[in-house]
Structures are given as structure tokens and as C-alpha cells.
Amino acid sequence: MTEMAAREKGRLASPALAKSARRSITRTVKFLEKEADRIRAQADALVAATAALAADRALLESIPGVGRKTATAILAELPAVERLPSAESAAAYCGLSPREFQSGTSVKKRTRLSKAGNARLRKALFLPTQTAVRFNPVLKGFFERLVKAGKPKMQAVGACMRKLVMICYGVLKNRQPFDPSWVSKKTC
């Protein structure tokens, strides 16, 4: 609904619109925005009414960069952690696993994201990942290491999206809020 409203707003910018068409599009935009708000409120009410979903959303919101909207999208689109054997499989479900292209011994192209998974979830993670790269210490360090190693920034963002999904999986699997020093505690 939000995307449809944005498209209609884009149509309003056309100077060739008649007044009646402009009024009609304006009404359509208002209706779509109202419907998007209603659906978002229903999703929030559903999550709040289910104790397990509310707890999962609170765990996801403990990750810097993951807000209410993103947490709700993850809960709606990602299968339950009991159905996914590992964090890597969660990333693969989202289409965020690396895919190599090789043909014979002479042709080897750059590794890319597979994009063979859930496009809605990938789209829902893009902007939160950019926020997380700024405010989440784990992803910030990871992003900076990748860029320093010569990776293009968008490729580093894709890798951070993968890492964010894996962090979300880990938080849900372990039933513990996000702790940026957990990795260092585990290796000690």
C-alpha cells in the first residue's frame, strides 16, 4: 500500500494532469495511506496479542538498526527459527548468500548475492542495514573492514545485510537480547 501511494504521489507531479484527475489521485493517495496505516496497526495488534511474537519482536528490536517495522517484517517473512537449521540457511532464505559464477577453468566472475530468496525481506532489510552500519558496533566494524579491504560499498552493504539476518537468527535462536561483545565472549 505504501509503495502504491508513493507511485500515485509521483503521478501528481505531472504538469499535464487535469484538475479532476489531480483530485482523484489525491483521494487515492489518502485512501492508500490510510489503508497502509490500518494494516500496520493490525499487524502491531496481532504481534502484541501473541506473547511469543511480542517477545520475539522485543528481541529483534534490541539489535541496533532494527526497529519495530523491520522486526515485524522479519517475523512475518522469515520462517520460525525451529524450521531453519542455521543462520546461513536464514541468509539463503532471504537470497543473501553469495553465488559464484564459474564456467570451466577460464571464466570466473565476481561473487554476487544469489537473490534467489524472499525479495520482500531483502527489501525490508536494505535501509535498516544502512542504519545498522552506522550505529551497530558489530556491523560498523565489519563494513569498515570490507571497505578497507577494497570491496565496493554496495557489496559491503550486501554482506552486512547477510550478517544482520544472521544476527537476527542468533538473537531469536538463543532467546537473548543483542550483545555486541557476545562473539568475543564466546571465543575467550
The answer to whether residue 185 scores a pLDDT higher than 80 is no
pLDDT of residue 187: 39
Please write the tens of the pLDDT for every residue from 121-135: 989 999 999 999 999
CA distances from 20 to 9, 13, 23, 66 (A): 15, 14, 5, 42
- Sign, CA torsion 151/102/158/33: positive
- Beta-carbon contacts of residue 150 (< 8 Å; ≥ 6 apart): none
Please write the tens of the pLDDT for every residue from 14-50: 888 899 999 999 999 999 999 999 998 998 899 889 9
- Beta-carbon contacts of residue 103 (< 8 Å; ≥ 6 apart): none
Give the span between the Cα atoms of 84 and 93, in whole angstroms.
9
Asked if 158 contacts 133 with a C-beta cutoff of 8 angstroms, the reply is no
pTM of structure: 0.81
Burial class (CB in 10 A: 0-12, 13-18, 19+), 76: middle
